[in-house]
Structure formats: structure tokens, C-alpha cells
Amino acid sequence: MGDMGDMGDIGDGDGEHAPDRAFDGSIPEIYDELMVPLIFAEYAVDLAARLAQFDIESVLEIAAGTGVLTREMAQRLPTSVDITATDLNQPMLDRAAAIGTCRAVRWQQADGMSLPFDDHSFDAVACQFGVMFFPDKAAAFAEIRRVLRPGGVLAFNAWDRIDTNDFARIVTDALGEVFPADPPLFMARIPHGYHDDAVIRADLLAGGFSSAARIEAVEARSRAATADIPAIAYCKGTPLRNEIVARDAHRLEDATAHAATLIERLHGPVDVDGRIRALVVTVTSPS
């Protein structure tokens, strides 16, 4: 939904689905406290470990969100590696900086579609669950390639289809029951809308990378102490909240409660455990 850039806000805020990229109000706090441990933490460990296999001196993170991947990179990469973490959404970066990292990191507000860095500035670029938010993915990949040094590595992940991610699917189904005439489909449309291998490879190729990227499906578990935690995380800690409020601002609590009820029906009231699945992509910039 990096965090959901993990879900960091990427690209300009104009267009038909501008609320898809709005992480303001109380969303950053709820997102960080509930959503990060629910679905992002394990994948941050995985992506940071993959980056640690490369001989790099600098890494740019795009869509850092509240910094879950940033913290893992700061811990797992050699201290000699310079880390620059960016996000378009300042409240998310403020939350990330307040949490802090185990060593110095450069935090900078930046638009992933127009990066404020010179050509060939970084050995690696990382993006945790943020590419789905790029309004023009091929153009975004071209911009990433521009700031990468020749032979540099791009590593990112993206959620697989929504039907392979239990709580996202259940919450979406529940909201469809609450708003049957106009179901909120943010989760299926954006976080879980970029999972086709052929499309990803074509976008990378159009952005100047090789289409022979390594794309690996990685499964993990999403766990919470009670059924209401994933319901609150998705309904109040992501831009899905904006879709609910746009339909009826007075029904946010009812919609969240209905999602919790459906999760409890399928996974029990406590120690809920659901499947999550993502694609992890690594590709090198042309030499």
C-alpha cells in the first residue's frame, strides 16, 4: 500500500484519483502503528537483505513513507553506504524522521516522477511498495535510470493480486457490502493493481532498463492480535479512508466495524493470521 511506500505518496496530486495518494491527517500515525507491522515489516527486511548483496556506496529510497525500509537499510547496509530517503508526502517523512534510524540518513521531500538529483548520482535505488502509485510507470523508471549510475541496481516490490492477500481482499469485500452502489476499490485498483509480469517488464524496458528483470513472488504472513487491527489499519491508515469518507463521512466507523466483523468471521477474533504475497523485482541499469 516501503511503506504503502511503503505506501509513500508519489507523483503529483492532480487527476481523477488524487485521493489515492493522500496520506494526511491521522493516516501516517495509524499507518505506521498498525499497517507497518501488519504487512510491511517482513518485506522491508527482505528488500534490505537483497540490497546488502550488492557492492554499493549510495542508495536512494523513493516513497520511503514512514521509514520501515529506511530503518532496515540503515541497520543492514554497511555504515559506509550513504542513504537518502525521499517521499512526496511531508507528513509521512516527518513521522519517519521522528522515529529515527540507527545511523544518519538524509531525509528529503521529493517527487518520484521528477527527482531533484543529478544524473548518475546513486549506485542503487530502492522502492518499497511505491511503484504502484506512479501515474506513469515507464516515465518513473526512466527517471530512476537517469539518477542511477551505469550498472546500478533498482530493487522494488509490489503487491500481488488482491485475491492472494487475505485481509486486503476481505476488507474490500466488506466495504462492497457497506457501499454496494459504489464500492471503494482503492486496494484492488492501486496497491494490488500492478502485478502482471509482462506489464512490469514492458514498463522497465520503456524506461530504459532490460526487460530481463528478476521478478520473484514472495509469500509471508500477516498477523495481528485481534480482528479489528487489520480493519482499522486498512480503513483508517491508508487512502482507502479517503474513499470511505467521500461516500459518507459519517460511516467510517460503521465501515471499519463491518470489515472487522468479516475478518473475525473468517479468521477468528484473536491471533488473526492471513496470507500476503508480493512480487520483488531487481534489475540493473545499462552499463
For 82-124, write each residue's pLDDT tens digit.
999 999 989 889 999 999 999 999 999 999 999 999 999 999 9
What is the gyration radius of the CA atoms in the chain, in angstroms?
Answer: 18
pLDDT of 26 reads 59
Average pLDDT, the chain: 91
Q: Residue 31 carries which DSSP code?
A: I
Cell, residue 9 = 505518496
CATH topology of domain 18-162+194-222+276-284: Rossmann fold (3.40.50)
Contact at 8 Å (CB) between 32 and 98?
no
Nearest to 99 by CA among 127, 130, 64: 64
State the pTM of this model.
Answer: 0.90
